[in-house]
């Protein structure tokens, strides 16, 4: 669970300070490119996956290799080829659960929004 202590570590830019492997979640964005014709509008996909590493730098390196390996192409029913091409690694964030198990949090984000009624909790 993302606790106040974890939020403070994130705000300070602190990550794993030990040499033990920890898990990171990675968000990667891909674009579907139709190889037989030029288009201005594309379908995009965001994939979230896990990597295990001893540092954020190592996690980023592993993430890029894994994300590149996930690129693929196929023939579409209407003819032509679609290729899913990695556009960028959006985020690499350390998981805070010590083990991966049922209920482990593997993706989170902090955000603010204004509620339409101010009396809601």
pLDDT at residue number 47? 95
Q: How many helices (H) and strands (E) in the chain? A: 2, 4
Domain ranges of the chain: 22-94
pLDDT at residue number 6? 53
* Three-state secondary structure call for residue 62: helix
- What is the residue whose two structure tokens read 């083990």? 99
pLDDT at residue number 39? 78
* CA neighbor of 65 nearest in space, from 41, 104, 92, 98: 92
The two tokens of residue 63 are: 């993430």
Q: Tell how far CA 62 is from the center of its chain.
A: 13
| DSSP code at position 5 | H
Strand pairing class (81-94; 44-53): unpaired
The pLDDT averaged over each successive group of 10 residues in the chain (121 residues) is: 53 58 94 85 93 96 97 92 96 87 82 71 57
pLDDT at residue number 118? 64
């Amino acid at each position: 669970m993302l606790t106040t202590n974890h939020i403070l570590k994130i705000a300070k830019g602190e990550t794993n300070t030990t040499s033990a492997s920890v898990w990171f979640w990675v968000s990667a964005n891909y674009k579907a490119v139709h190889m037989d014709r030029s288009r201005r509008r594309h379908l995009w996909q965001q994939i979230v996956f896990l990597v295990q590493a001893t540092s954020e730098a190592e996690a980023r390196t592993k993430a890029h290799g894994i994300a590149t390996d996930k690129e693929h192409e196929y023939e579409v029913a209407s003819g032509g080829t679609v290729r899913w091409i990695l556009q960028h690694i959006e985020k690499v964030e350390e998981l805070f659960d010590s083990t991966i198990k049922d209920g482990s949090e593997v993706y989170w984000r902090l955000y603010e929004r204004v509620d339409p009624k101010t009396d809601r909790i």
